[in-house]
Structure 1
Amino acid sequence: MSRPRRLSPGEVEEALASLPEWRQADGALRRRYRFADFGEAWAFMTRCALLAEKVDHHPDWRNVWSRVDVALTTHDAGGVTQLDVEMARAMDALA
């Protein structure tokens, strides 16, 4: 399967218009999720991990108690691709 191309800055901005909780920084789409407690945060990460394995696209993330910080970038493309945009939308739906 071919990997997607890196999006232009304009394409990233256009995608972010439909992802209001996300921002671009350091070459990645970034978002902080907050949950009621560690269990809910971990359950969210589990749902996302199952999806990430299925689509072979994995987030960079960090969990601290009820918070999950996510960075999405396509390393082999050198930046944000449509895969990252799709993963952001899917993660929002799973939150």
Structure 2
Amino acid sequence: MPVSLLTNSEVAQLNLSLPNWQCVDGKLKRAWKFDDFSQAFAFMVRVAFLAEVMGHHPNWSNVWNLVTIELTTHDLAGLTNLDVEFAQKLNQISGD
């Protein structure tokens, strides 16, 4: 499937299909809190493998048990169907 920018109405509907995510400054953003650093790091390893498979890499940070991820498609300077697909897969990885 070709990568395409989301329309304004598609962006407005993201809270319905991705309820745990927020649209902040043109990016999809979500944070996960784990019991400890090891669990947070294990999640990040799974995300790293997914990012390589998809060829789509998130902006992310980790502080002890908190992992924050922001998604955007830099090449197209905005949110795309690829970001939505990535977010859905991250929800699956995290058990949502």
TM-score under structure 1 length normalisation: 0.93
1:78 partner amino acid = A
Once the two structures are overlaid, the 10-residue window that deviates more, 23-32 or 3-12, is 3-12
- Counterpart of 2:21 in structure 1 is 22
Unaligned runs of 5+ in 1: none
2:92 partner amino acid = A
Stretches of 4+ aligned residues off by more than 6 angstroms: none
Matches within 5 A, 1:1-95: 4-95=3-94
TM-score under structure 2 length normalisation: 0.92
CA deviation vs aligned residue, 1:18-50 (integer Å, no higher than 9, x gap): 111101011100001111110000000100100
1:19 partner amino acid = L
> Alignment RMSD, CA only?
1.3
Q: What is the deviation of 1:9?
A: 1.8
Q: What is the percentage of aligned positions where both structures have the same residue?
A: 46
Distance, in Å, in 2 between the alignment partners of 1:83 and 1:24 is: 15
